[in-house]
Structure 1
């Protein structure tokens, strides 16, 4: 078992699996071309099955080495689920699952430390992003109600109902055709409509989306600090900790000055 553990944990094994994941991603892309499949379908299918067999052997080996601790690691469970999906039959009613084989590409996340850090940061940012999504929904709802009352009669195809207004404003959030398709037609009957729409764009696209970026950046920084702390063996220092230490230093300096004056 110790030999198997050394093989599973060897950096060369990880590199080989990483190369196979990349090759498998390329083959899955090539299989979408009818002309390529007509000429090389057989070899590509054999290569795909061979790579899948290697993935299965690797997962079984990791299970044998780590046993129950394998399922305590979320990334290992992620690997296991992707390989298990790839083993499902892709014929008959389950033929739609054939497209799910492309999920094997996501094994790159578990093999590349930089990608794991990025995904970890995104997961850590989900609570903050959820709050921002709620804020965006509130902004959309308020402006959709106003737009329906203001422009629904003259532009029923864009603001006739609350649902249509929500969809139109979401299009404005993405800035897709905001000027030629929405704002300028509205200004034909409402010359000052640009004030309403520009205000909405500034609040939603620029302000709220920048909040998204800020949350993700903070999560990435926290993940980076955690990685440094794991390498150095020192706990990560937050801004609150620094401010607390600064206050303590100021108090100590003030106390020393008071003693000196006494």
Structure 2
């Protein structure tokens, strides 16, 4: 077994993996403490030193992985993810720009790449993106149709009432919610999330248009209970497929190890 192979096995050992996860979580706490001005005034030097130590650990880990895997390191998406996050923190002048300083908190995301279960969740989500694109397109069409209808029914409809009535606070509120296509789309998005949809929007609209429920109830049933659940189903199905693929890869790896050992035993027996 070569040095690089032993180094790669050591980096994947539970001891190293758990240590890196611990450093990531500790660094997350440190980055949170940096947002407190009283703590920074009193312990700023210590907090910044601990942050640099955590960054040094991450850099050493990346260097060791580069030594162990060579160019194969860049074939893994998770390795590129770790490399980019750590690279942002060591860019010259990163401490001079507030945006780059804020991006340091992305180091917390490394807990995803260091935890197999979290990686499985993210991989399942990514594999669901193609199917989700079709669902988002469907939802966009539904929202566009709904926004046009809501603008015509509740926004432009107010303009057909008496001019004095449109100055009423209730009608002014309707124009605020459904006066334009963009406002209607935003109001419908709030209704889809079920955030104050009844007392906040629908019931006030029904005071002016008593039959407005005939528009909002089907919209909620289609978007919230049908399309959103379809998205959840796609993600769950993709996660199950990712889990099955991971199990198959483990089985193949174990089978390859067994075959390699059998071949080694056969070779030794033939030499004797």
Tell me the equivalent position of 2:221: 202
Deviation at 1:75, TM superposition (A): 0.5
Q: Does 1:87 align with 2:90?
A: yes
Query: Which residue does 1:175 correspond to in 2?
Result: 194
CA shift, 1:142, in A, is: 0.6
- Distance verdict in 2 for CA 1:226–1:189, change over 3 Å: same
Q: Could you list the runs of 5+ residues in structure 2 that have no partner in the other structure?
A: 159-173, 254-272
The structure whose RCO (Cα within 8 Å, separation 6+) is larger is 2
Q: CA deviation at 1:128?
A: 0.9
Match of 2:143 in 1: 140
1:216 and 1:5 map into 2 onto residues whose CA distance is 32
CA-based RMSD of the aligned residues comes to 1.6
* CA distance, structure 2, for counterparts of residue 177 and residue 171 of structure 1: 8
* Offset, 1:175: 1.3
Unaligned runs of 5+ in 1: 235-262
Describe the shift of the 1:5–1:144 C-alpha distance in structure 2 as closer, same or farther (beyond 3 A).
closer
Partner deviation per Cα, 1:118-171 (whole Å, 9 max, x = no partner): 000000111111111111111001111111111113321111111111111111
Structure 2 residue 18 is matched with structure 1 residue 15? yes
Residue number in structure 2 paired with 1:61: 64
Count residues in correspondence: 233
| Structure 1 match to 2:252 | 233
1:6 CA drift (Å): 4.7
TM superposition shift of 1:200? 0.6
Deviations 1:53-91 (A, max 9, x none): 111111111111211111011110111000001112334
Shift in Å, 1:173: 1.0
TM-score with structure 2 setting the length: 0.82
Once the two structures are TM-superposed, the CA of residue 10 in structure 1 deviates from its matched residue by: 3.2
Q: For the residues of structure 1 that align with 2:201 and 2:52, how far apart are their CA atoms?
A: 51
1:153-172 alignment runs, 5 A limit: 153-154=157-158, 155-172=174-191
| TM-score between the two structures when normalised by the length of structure 1 | 0.85
